[in-house]
Amino acid sequence: MQMLASFIGVLLLSSVHIFYDSFQRTLSRRLAHWTSVAGGVAVGYVFLYLFPKLSDYTSTIIIGEQGTWEPLRYRLYFFALLGFLVYQAMEFYGDQNRHKVTIWNWAHAAGFCAYNALIGYIATGIPRPGILPVFLAVLPIGFHLLGMNHMMSGRMGKLFRSRVRWLFAASLFFGWITGSFASLPVWVTTGFTAFVAGAIIINVISEELPDRGKGSLWAFMAGVAFFSVFMSIIRTLPRIG
């Protein structure tokens, strides 16, 4: 049952990539509003999901590795910093070539493929039973992915529509298949989650925060509130086991 629920969730999220053109046409009249909502969701995702995850993982490391050199016990934050720096470099060189597709754009796309794979992998391990938690998760993450697609479409144009969005969708299923039929070492998933946390921070700062005259502050705040309510509801649901 849980595998079926997670598959449905990944299928719904992949539709955000596959039918991106339809979503964009439908929402084009309110482009500034929905991209601001997506930015708010991304900020909520970082502060209310990824940061607590890093804290939980680090607490486990500290308890289990008492004899380890202390800075190494906080290594996940170094991974987060590394993700921040790597994506800042991509942003810097990508902005210098914003009107043409470069290796930096492809590196950005590859990073987001890995991110989609991580989402697909995590979907298989949602610690709450049933379809409701999966459906609740799909709503904010779907908005977040929609904002990511909007950014990559602006950078890669027709190439995003013809290839990259399909790679994003395939990455979701790759992550789901990996999580359903295999189990990666904990240090791999925790390290990559930390790296992604840092990467998303720079992505939010550079692309998703509303500017004066471009974007909507109230829509952004609504996105943050939406994700806050979502996390509050998810955390009140009973856990598996």
Domains of the chain, residue spans? 2-10+33-236
DSSP of 102-168: -HHHHHHHHHHHHHHHHHHHHHTT-SS-SHHHHHHHHHHHHHHHHHHHHHHHHHHTHHIIIIIHHHH
Please report the pLDDT score of residue 187 as a whole number: 85
- Whether the Cβ atoms of residue 128 and residue 238 lie closer than 8 Å to each other: yes
Instruction: Give the confidence band of 82 by pLDDT, cuts at 50, 70, 90.
Output: very high
How many Cα atoms occupy the beta-carbon half-sphere of 105 within 13 Å?
18
**175-228, pLDDT tens digit by residue?**
999 999 988 888 888 888 888 888 888 877 777 777 666 678 888 999 999 899
Instruction: Give the confidence band of 116 by pLDDT, cuts at 50, 70, 90.
Output: very high
213: left (phi over 0), alpha (psi -120 to 50) or beta: left
* C-alpha Rg value of the chain to the nearest Å: 18
In DSSP terms, which residues pair with 214 in a beta bridge? Answer: 211
